[in-house]
Structure 1
Amino acid sequence: MSTRRTLLKSSAAAAALVVAPAIVRAQNFPSRPLRLIVASAAGGNADVVTRLMAPELEQRLGQRIVVENLAASSGMQGTEAVARAEPDGHTLLVGTASQLVFNLALFDPMPFDLVGSLRGVAMINKVPLVMLVNPNDPAANMRDYIARLRAAPGRYQYGSGPRGTTTHITGLMWARAAGVEVQHVPYRAGAEGLRDLMAGRISHQFDVAVTAIPHVQSRALRALAVTSRRRLQVLPDVPTAAEQGLPGFEGFTWNSIAAPAGTPQPIVERLNREIAAVLEVPALRERLVGWGSEFTGAMSPSQVDAFYAEDRRIWVPLVREASRAV
């Protein structure tokens, strides 16, 4: 019995030595500036939303926030950088459907364990896409445009961000649903595709509402459809894709915060609370709504992980199947 008590005391002491540093890290968090890694190009959806939120989050955390764009390899560079970072809450990923879902279907093999090495922290917003064409395109609506594409298989092109991004996958799924054959033209960033669309070098592009809406409002581009269930408040005259002959067609991306898997729970919960509070700031929320955002409501970190898992269950098989059919 004496030996057993000694072993139990030794085990408890060893466990305490493991837990103690995590408790200290949580109590001192944040102890230095935070890095918010955006795994997409500057000026894109995730970047715009992150830079809008960063000043508010700085005030709440009392530390500077450095927003860093690491977009190479369809966002895999930034995603892997966070997955391999010290799990202390000071390096976080602004993760979207592109990096945290679609890349699982398109990279074989994956360069690292994406699912096991990252954990959810907080959801930010959910955003539909807008189907854009050149202002001089003769199509009166999406139905007209589909008819023209069906009459000339392979003649037209759609642009997107890098392979595996939401703009690519939405364009791919739309072409399949519409029964059209179009050439895919990927760009290093979606903004480059939009510039070519304005110049008439490509035929159409799906872009996230956050960055698409300003181009529609300035009339630099014209919107044929939105991929939400209902028309957007900010674009009331633009019908949904479902209204125009593609029943059930939807396309969304979302912005979220993820952290290395070993990040202590108290730190994750603190970040979750602060981000939720930032999203309630009236001026910030109004701005996001004006960019077509929807909100999932407050989610705990475990609910964010469940959200990731469900999106992967639905989308990974669909994307794999669609990409093989092209």
Structure 2
Amino acid sequence: MKLFSKSLALAFAASVVSLGAVAQDWPDKTVNVVVPWPPGGPSDIAARPWAKSLTESLGKTFVIDNRAGGGGNIGTAAVVRAQPDGYTLLITSSAPIVINPSVYKGMSFDPLKDLAPISNLLRVPLVLVANPNLPAKNLKELIAHIQSKKGSFSFASSGNGTPQHLTAELFNSVQKLEMVHVPYKGSAPAISDLLGGHIPIMFDSTIAIMPHIKSGKVRPIAISGNKRSPLLPDVPTFAEAGIPQIESYAWYGLFAPAKTPKAVIDKINGETIKFMKSPEFAKIRAETGSELLADTPENFTKFVHAEAAKWSKVAKDSGATVD
């Protein structure tokens, strides 16, 4: 029995040393970082500087691989199928992780089981904006105006099942409104029709909508974060306007395939936090209105699961679907 216990202890010690060696050796070749969206999108704002930073600090190339399609599902599925060795990673917005499972039928993977969260990179609030010709100047006036239209009032979004769409549906549900959803193929065409007065309101991230707010071409009504944005200090949160249920963010996170060794996950997380505390990333955070999110994989995992539960309920209550 003593011999068995001694053998078990030696085996455990050997496994610990082995895992430590894996982390110490990683990376010893190029790391492929899949971004499941077209080049130049919001995910790239975090992904490309991050890849450049880790390439410089670790001495191996981190290559951004934009694989768009299927609302982020195609590129995400490629990461799920990859070897869990730390050489294929994912940087994506929240949709394929916490929204798509509730609005797409027959998804080929379960992001909560098939991916390992490493770190949240950026988290920016959404802004409810209106065409300046709309008579409503604040949230109370807007709600009264929508109610007066008795179901004929519409809102735009960047597409079915996006955070922008479901945040509007949450607003619809909480305030018992009857707004009609008009989905677009991306934020740019939706904003174009908002500016042209063809659609009265929409939710969008501060990243996408700030230039049009600054130019005065759209009017900000309320912001969906838990505190005011430094980019929009005069715009109240929904909570300040009396609707605390509306808290929503466009967030962009870093993931690996499930079963990637924890030692490798922790090393990537450590290098990522160094990058997030750098002056270069501080500038990106300031430009996008994101707070510093240097966090552990464990806390990011809790956040991801909470987001999935939240948006699953909104999708079910609203009947939102892509298929």
What TM-score comes out, normalization by structure 1 length? 0.84
Alignment of 1:190 onto 2:194: no
Match of 1:271 in 2: 268
Match of 1:312 in 2: 308
SS of equivalent to 1:248: coil
Alignment of 1:36 onto 2:33: yes
Match of 2:221 in 1: 224
**In the aligned structure 2, how far is the partner of 1:59 from the partner of 1:225?**
40
**In the aligned structure 1, how far is the partner of 2:49 from the partner of 2:162?**
22
Alignment of 1:284 onto 2:259: no
- Which of 206-215 and 63-72 deviates more? 63-72
Match of 2:117 in 1: 120
| C-alpha contact (below 8 Å) 1:70/1:78 kept by paired residues | yes
CA drift of 1:324 comes to 6.3
**In the aligned structure 2, how far is the partner of 1:35 from the partner of 1:153?**
51
SS of equivalent to 1:74: helix
Residue number among 159, 164, 179 corresponding to 1:162 in the alignment: 159
**In the aligned structure 2, how far is the partner of 1:169 from the partner of 1:16?**
49
Q: Aligned Cα RMSD in Å?
A: 3.2
SS of equivalent to 1:246: coil
Number of aligned residues: 321
Change beyond 3 A, Cα 1:302–1:230? closer
CA drift of 1:235 comes to 0.6
**In the aligned structure 1, how far is the partner of 2:139 from the partner of 2:66?**
34
Read off the aligned partner of 2:317 and give its amino acid letter. Answer: E
Alignment of 1:143 onto 2:140: yes
**In the aligned structure 2, how far is the partner of 1:148 from the partner of 1:71?**
38
Residue number among 41, 66, 70 corresponding to 2:63 in the alignment: 66
CA drift of 1:20 comes to 10
Residue number among 236, 261, 264 corresponding to 2:258 in the alignment: 261
Alignment of 1:106 onto 2:103: yes
- Which of 270-279 and 199-208 deviates more? 199-208
- Which of 225-234 and 184-193 deviates more? 184-193
Match of 1:302 in 2: 298
| Pairing of 1:243-254 with structure 2 (within 5 A) | 243-254=240-251
Change beyond 3 A, Cα 1:99–1:71? same
| C-alpha contact (below 8 Å) 1:150/1:179 kept by paired residues | no
SS of equivalent to 1:68: strand
Match of 1:152 in 2: 149
**In the aligned structure 2, how far is the partner of 1:276 from the partner of 1:39?**
22
- Which of 19-28 and 310-319 deviates more? 19-28
Q: Percent identity?
A: 32
Any unmatched runs of 5+ in structure 1?
none
**In the aligned structure 1, how far is the partner of 2:87 from the partner of 2:150?**
50
What TM-score comes out, normalization by structure 2 length? 0.85
Alignment of 1:133 onto 2:130: yes
CA drift of 1:312 comes to 2.5
1:192-249 per-residue CA deviation (whole Å, 9 max, x = no partner) reads: 3122222222222111122222331233432111111222122111122233342432
SS of equivalent to 1:242: coil
